[in-house]
Amino acid sequence: MILLILEARAVLLRFFQKFQMVLTPLVKFFIAFITFHAINGSIGHEPHLMKLPAELVLSFIGTFAPAVILVLLAALVSLAHIYTASPILAILVALLMLILYCFIARFSGKYGYVVLLMPIMFILKLPYVVPLILGLVATPLTIIPMACGVLVYRMFVIIKAAAEMEVSMGINDILEMYIDVIDRFVADKQAIVLIGVFSVIMIVMYLVRKLNIDYVFEISIAAGTIAGILGFLFGDMYLHTQFDITGMVFGMVGAMALALIFQFFRMALEYSAVERVQFEDDDYYYYVKAVPKIKLAVPVRKVKRISEGADPEPENPEDGMVDFSPEPATTSKAERELTEEERYALGEELPDESLLEEFPSEQDENG
């Protein structure tokens, strides 16, 4: 069973490497489309941007743009929706997004997609997967784009509720509503707990995967999961955030399973074949631990055509393949002609026409 799983992994990795030039833009297009579709579904107020052609065009632009540009497009689309509902509220959101964008552009780098991924994963009820995967592949510096993603999601939740309230409010109450939005955004306990716990998960996993132990990545995933569950329990206990503890526990366990699957396809290590090497140079003495990666060669099957009536050769024990090539003739043309000449000289059988021309009779010579 394990061998079949490893073979399937090798086939999938080989397929991705072979068609990487096509699959990478498709994945980016899918991420961009889900992003704009989620924005339209959560805070959709501008009808022109909610149409499918507009989503496809924006997704196509985001496919070939850097991650920071895609984040900027998503922010502009969100502002357009908010401006349709409340122009003054859009100005407030624009200032908050500008502050967040300065952090994203400065520190996110290639992890700018995390800012978009966090709100999407919250909508899909899978936000705990993001810190676990980042703890496997990234450094603690990616806490900044992750925190910005959490703030963006919480900001959309607060602003969506405020925009719906503004429709039924008078002019005198709008200013108080804006002040309430700022207060709720600054004192959002759920955002504080989410950012704090996710940061603890990433730091714990980063420290654990630097240890010199076997199965370090699997252990780091388990350690991050335990740290996340304990962090949410303490946060809910002291800050009274009213998290769904049962849903959080099941969500963390499910995220751990997904992180293990991600690690299996990213890097499968063979710890039973660990090698330790020691060597030195003029300045240092080195202790190196080498853990080989599990790589299976994808079997290549060859099919050969066989002529009708030809018997296949026996199985070749060296390569485990059966050669179905036709069996070569055992008698060459020269050997066939020599045999006929000998039979003619012995008088056992009349020669064919070709031999009569080559050995004419005495009667023909005398005319």
Q: What is the pLDDT of residue 218?
A: 92
**DSSP string covering 7-48, please?**
HHHHHHHHHHHHTHHHHHHHHHHHHHHHHHHHHHHHH---TT
Q: 177, 137 in Cβ contact below 8 A?
A: no
User: Facing residues of 288 across strands?
Assistant: 277
Q: What is the mean pLDDT of each run of 10 residues along the chain (367 residues)?
A: 75 83 89 86 82 90 83 85 80 80 65 80 87 91 87 81 61 68 79 92 94 89 95 86 85 93 84 81 84 68 61 51 47 49 52 49 47
Distance CA 153, CA 115 (A): 9
Q: What is the pLDDT of residue 343?
A: 55
Q: What is the SS3 assignment for 288?
A: strand
Helix ranges (H only) for the chain are 2-18, 20-43, 52-63, 67-85, 87-107, 113-123, 129-137, 143-167, 171-186, 189-208, 216-239, 245-266, 333-346, 353-358, 362-365
Q: What is the pLDDT of residue 292?
A: 81
Q: What is the pLDDT of residue 166?
A: 59
Angle (CA) 144-136-292 rounded to 5° is 150
Q: What is the pLDDT of residue 356?
A: 47
pTM of structure: 0.69
Every domain of the chain and the residues it spans: 23-269
Q: What is the pLDDT of residue 74?
A: 85
Q: What is the pLDDT of residue 265?
A: 83
Report the b/e string of 289-302 with b at 16+ CB within 10 A: eeeeeeeeeeeeee
Q: Which residue has the tokens 């489309």?
A: 33
